[in-house]
Structure 1
């Protein structure tokens, strides 16, 4: 399989680019204020600062470096991603994936991985991908972390997962999908590429699997990156995954890992035939 024209795994550029861009934008704001007065300068300043918040709060934003949100495939294959593990649901989800011939990337939290290393090894042994989803999953404040804490979250998760599997993750998913300028340096340092999504069902908070899957179907398309979770507090994560995989079967969708598009045959998943079902 030939590699895509644009590399999928893209680490952020040097962070100096972001800071140079910010300084230049504020110089433009100051010039407008000086030449045209506050009526032009104030709106320019507000817009420039709103763009910084938009870059942090919109998961698909590329303001703070590349963010992969879709794979370049034309057939019915998607990248299934599962956040927040490992958990008490991991073993059941692995069995479901096996039953449907599906592959997924598990974005794991470092501290949870350290508490359940056997599950991390089981994910890798069954041919699934493992990504970095921070060390402690600070969901409320990840978007606003400063440089030291951000580095600790990214580097800490990376070290734990590398120590368990022997391989450093290549992919990173920001907590709640939100990044900020301080994610750039540690991602670049550890060779991590940030992954967003294009289809989600809000399964971490929605307890009804049918609602979750219906939401995902609305934006399901070839190359979609599908966001799912495990270990949700409502206790229905396994049920939601089971229903989603059955719908993939019925709609003729298969799964793949991005490494398959980069020429690594070990990461290719068997396409799911239309109408297939779990035994």
Structure 2
């Protein structure tokens, strides 16, 4: 199966945002001094709002480069599966084999440590493995302080590297939200951040056809598709089958991209 190049952009200046933000606050103080609160307060809210927006938007490149789609005109896509390994993993692997599809599994370190045989099976069947944090703190990942953020990424990298035989090269933020302290950890481990361009909200939506319809609305050549495993509703495998069937009808192939220079 052919592979499509994907730029692997590790953050080069992970603290550049801090200097820019500090400069913006100096400018805010100057505006406040010159024009009073009528000028200073809106400027303060604008600069802090931009910081929050850059954190909460998965496709934001403000703190670190992020890959959102592959550059190709071919009907290929990068299928990515978050939150494993889980009880769904083997069934998903069998489905992917049946459809001659390849995917990248973004795995959680603690879950991988508990089920090492699944990590090895993913690698054995020729799929990619990415770093998706160590403990998956979904509610607070966006707000983690520097030391905790570094540990989340480093611990998962160590576990996944040991089990898969080589360390991951790709990272996906939990819920896609990467706060300002992610970039330094990515640089330390040579990781590049991946977001997505198409999703169906299958982590919460239990209707396979609804999920597939949502994915299809934003599908295009080179799309990065976000899917999940192990959701509480228990229908991720059924949903994946429906998606793969629809992709076959539409003429799309699922490939694992070849890492290229940025």
TM-score between both structures, scaled by the size of structure 2:
0.96
Say if 2:132 is the partner of 1:155: no
Contact 1:55–1:62 (Cα < 8 Å) also in 2: yes
Aligned to 1:71: 70
Pairwise mapping of residues 240-259 of structure 1 onto structure 2 (< 5 A)? 240-259=239-258
Contact 1:8–1:258 (Cα < 8 Å) also in 2: no
Q: Residue by residue, what CA displacement relative to the aligned partner does 1:6-25 show, whole Å, maximum 9, x if unpaired?
A: x6110112223111111111
* Whole-angstrom distance in 1 between the partners of 2:51 and 2:95: 41
| SS, match of residue 181 in structure 2 | helix
Aligned to 1:228: 227
Q: Residue by residue, what CA displacement relative to the aligned partner does 1:9-67 show, whole Å, maximum 9, x if unpaired?
A: 10112223111111111111111111111111110100000000001100001111101
How many equivalent pairs are there? 260
* Whole-angstrom distance in 1 between the partners of 2:161 and 2:3: 28
Q: Shift of the alpha carbon at 1:2?
A: 10
Structure 1 consecutive aligned stretches of length 4 or more whose deviation exceeds 6 Å: none
Q: Residue by residue, what CA displacement relative to the aligned partner does 1:122-178 show, whole Å, maximum 9, x if unpaired?
A: 101111000000000000000000011101100010000011112010000000000
Contact 1:3–1:262 (Cα < 8 Å) also in 2: no
| SS, match of residue 160 in structure 1 | helix
Aligned to 1:198: 197
Structural RMSD (CA)? 1.5
| SS, match of residue 181 in structure 1 | coil
| SS, match of residue 51 in structure 1 | helix
* Whole-angstrom distance in 1 between the partners of 2:3 and 2:219: 24
Say if 2:154 is the partner of 1:176: no
Aligned to 1:18: 17
> What are structure 1's unaligned runs of at least 5 residues?
264-279
* Whole-angstrom distance in 2 between the partners of 1:3 and 1:131: 17
